[in-house]
Each structure stands twice: as structure tokens, then as C-alpha cells.
Amino acid sequence: MSGPGTTGSDRGGTATLGIDPALLEILACPDTHHSPLTVDVAASELVCGTCHRAFPVRDGIPVLLLDEARQRPA
């Protein structure tokens, strides 16, 4: 099942972009007071539901740098 703003799989799904599911449980947006990240499999990104930034996942490694994130439409 997918949540709002996600494509493919949420935290409970099998598609994790090569990221350990235990790590996905603790990853959150690096900006202050933001949400846990959800997986967008189609875009190979982790998405913050608060600020709508999308963080790339490269070779199974999440790049959680604000300068590397792109702004998604709300």
C-alpha cells in the first residue's frame, strides 16, 4: 500500500531501493522538525511529507543533503 506522495511502496513494502528496512524506519528529513521519509520507488527517492523535498538514493545509499534534494510539488 502506498501513502500520499509515494509511488511503489511504503515502509512496509518490499521495494526499499536497496536500503535496509531497519534503516528506513529511523531515517527522517534532515531539516529541523520534519517527517520520516517515505520511499518513491519510481523516482529512486526518499520523500519528506512535511517540506516535500525528495532525496536521491544512489546505489542503495540515501543522499540526505539539503543541497542535493529537489523540491517536489505539494
Long-range contacts (CB closer than 8 Å, 24 or more residues apart) made by 53-56: 53/29, 55/29
pLDDT (tens digit per residue) in 21-47: 999 999 999 998 888 999 999 999 999
The structure's pTM equals: 0.77
Q: What is the CATH number of the domain that holds 66?
A: 2.20.25.10
Whole-number pLDDT of residue 55: 97
Which amino acid does the sequence have at 64?
Answer: L
Mean pLDDT computed over 43-68: 95
Position 63 confidence tier, pLDDT thresholds 50, 70, 90: very high
Residues 6+ apart with CB under 8 A from 3: 10, 38, 49
Range of the domain at 12: 1-74
Residues 6+ apart with CB under 8 A from 42: 7, 8
C-beta of residue 32 within 8 angstroms of C-beta of residue 23: no
Q: What is the mean pLDDT of the chain?
A: 84
pLDDT higher than threshold 70 for residue 53: yes
How many domains does the structure of the chain reveal? 1
